[in-house]
Amino acid sequence: MPRPSRGNARWVAFQTLTTIREGAFADLALDRHLQRSGLVGADRRLVTELVYGCVRRQRTLDALIDLLAQRPAAQQPPVLRTVLQLGLYQLRYLEQIPTAAAVAETVQLAKQLGLGGLSGAVNAILRQYLRQSEERDPLPLPSDPIAALAIHQSFPDWLVQLWSDRLGLDEAEFLCHWFNQPPSIDLRINPLRTERSQVQAALEAVGIRSTPDPQLPQALRLIDPPGPIRQLPGFDEGWWMVQDSSAQLIAHLVDPQPGETVLDVCAAPGGKSTHLAELMGDRGQVIACDSSAKRLRKVQENAQRLQLSSITTRAIDGRQIKGIQADRILVDAPCSGLGTLHRHADGRWRQSPDSVAELAQLQSEILDAAAACLKPAGTLVYATCTLHPAENEAVIEQFLQRHPDWQMAPLAADSPFQAWAEANGTLRIWPHRHDRDGFFGARLQRSPARD
Ligand SMILES: C[S@@+](CC[C@H](N)C(=O)[O-])C[C@H]1O[C@@H](n2cnc3c(N)ncnc32)[C@H](O)[C@@H]1O
């Protein structure tokens, strides 16, 4: 059996998990460690699987450590706990790794990390897991159904409770299961530069199959793993940008027309600003604002690469926005991201009922300020990628209470996107039902003046 070296996939996964434990965002930590490691191909994919898998499945893995080790997970030295999580993750979830190799590599990693005598305990715990799994799943589950589902699917109780209240326990489990799968990658094809069929053919030529979304004219879902995105055909030419198909629906809700002034209040990194500009044929003005000047540079980069010239950027806190009168406004608000937990492995552990309440307050303040920038006959779309009603329906309900001269605005009757929206102009995407990111959108307008 080859000995793990410092450039070995499990070693890199361990280092990345340590950085995440110290507070780094999972995706940023992974990018950084992968870059440094020089790993390519299958090794790179293994590190990604191990890191995202251990972060997502942390609660389940810790429940196993509680069962099998002498001390509960929370009282283990952090290095040992991470090594055990890595070993148990491979044994429980990665069928492609032979169990003997998973055990031997994990024990070797423990030795390499200086755990010395404890490597024997690692060996014993992993073998005990294998023995116990021969008869039935050894994962200990409490009788309370919410806690049991939360431990089995590795989510905090409050999230399972929230979704179970909304969907029922069985459907909440589908949703949790969906979020534990690796995310798909969708492209949004730039119709001002190319056609979807042309991009599909160019990808096929480099061995990447894709499938067009029948309901969204610009969306192409990649079937094969694409490798480094920037190296795909058409990147430099601005033929496409990566954007989930749910997010692609939002600019259609805004429904911008050529020549209009469109204000995008929380615009970075520019996924929707660039889409709005494309839908307007790059004619008119998209004012892309964001509180982060650094992130706004991404908007400029994306606009430049997609060869769009109708976008200008402005660094401003959405709560302070004024002095603009726009035909259409998009508030794609900062949110808890609970509809994209498959993309953000650590998202489920970062949010809490308190953080959701804080975000809801911020969202309401941004929405109030943005609404004052809308021309009398204009349309405003409020959108989030969360599934929490406090950040979605409640923000809209409270807005309408504070602004009795506003109302919901249904999509035009002949809009090809009617099927997605509810009669009153609200859009709600449940990931497990629609196989795409979770999203919420609401169209708003001022009520017509009464005589
Ligand atoms: C959901 S992201 C926007 C994604 C973007 N619309 C797109 O499609 O690429 C939310 C954005 O809100 C910005 N943001 C956070 N707080 C803000 C505030 N108080 N005012 C304006 N923007 C804010 C963040 O910097 C972030 O870029």
Q: Does residue 31 have a known ligand-binding role?
A: no
Q: What share of the chain is helix, strand, coil (3-state, %, to 5)?
A: 50, 15, 35
The residues annotated as belonging to the active site are: 385
Helices H, strands E: what count in the chain?
Answer: 18, 12
In this prediction, the residues of the chain whose per-residue pLDDT falls under 70 are 1-7, 450-451
Give nearest CA residue, ligand 1 atom 10.
Answer: 334
According to CATH, what is the number of the domain 185-242? 3.30.70.1170
Domain 9-140 class, CATH top level? mainly alpha
Q: d(Cα 410, Cα 408) in Å, to the nearest integer?
A: 7
The whole-angstrom separation of Cα 337 and Cα 347 is 7
Residue 140 labeled ligand binder: no
In this structure, the dihedral spanned by the alpha carbons of residues 98, 103, 109 and 112, taken in order and rounded to 10 degrees, is -120
Q: Give tens-digit pLDDT for 396-428.
A: 999 999 999 999 998 888 888 877 877 787 899
Ligand 1: residues with CB < 6 A are: 266-272, 290-292, 295, 317-319, 332, 334, 366
ipTM over 0.95: yes
Tell how far the Cα of 151 is from the centroid of ligand 1, in angstroms.
32
Q: Where are the domains of the chain?
A: 9-140, 145-180, 185-242, 246-446
Q: Which of 188, 290, 367, 395 to mutate to test the pocket of ligand 1 (most atoms within 8 A of CB)?
A: 290
Q: What percent of the chain has pLDDT over 90?
A: 90
pLDDT at 450: 59
* Per-residue model confidence as pLDDT tens digits over 59-73: 999 999 999 999 999
pTM of the model: 0.94
The correct CATH number of 246-446 out of 3.30.70.2860, 3.40.50.150, 1.10.3210.10, 4.10.80.40 is: 3.40.50.150
Q: How many Å lie between the centroid of ligand 1 and the Cα of residue 102?
A: 42
Rounded to the nearest 5 degrees, what angle is found at the Cα of 80, between the Cα atoms of 88 and 129?
A: 30
User: How many whole angstroms from 296 Cα to the centroid of ligand 1?
Assistant: 9
Residue 72 CA: distances (Å) to CA of 14, 61, 91, 346: 20, 11, 19, 22
9 appears as a binding residue in the annotation: no
Does residue 297 contact residue 348 with C-beta atoms inside 8 Å? Answer: no
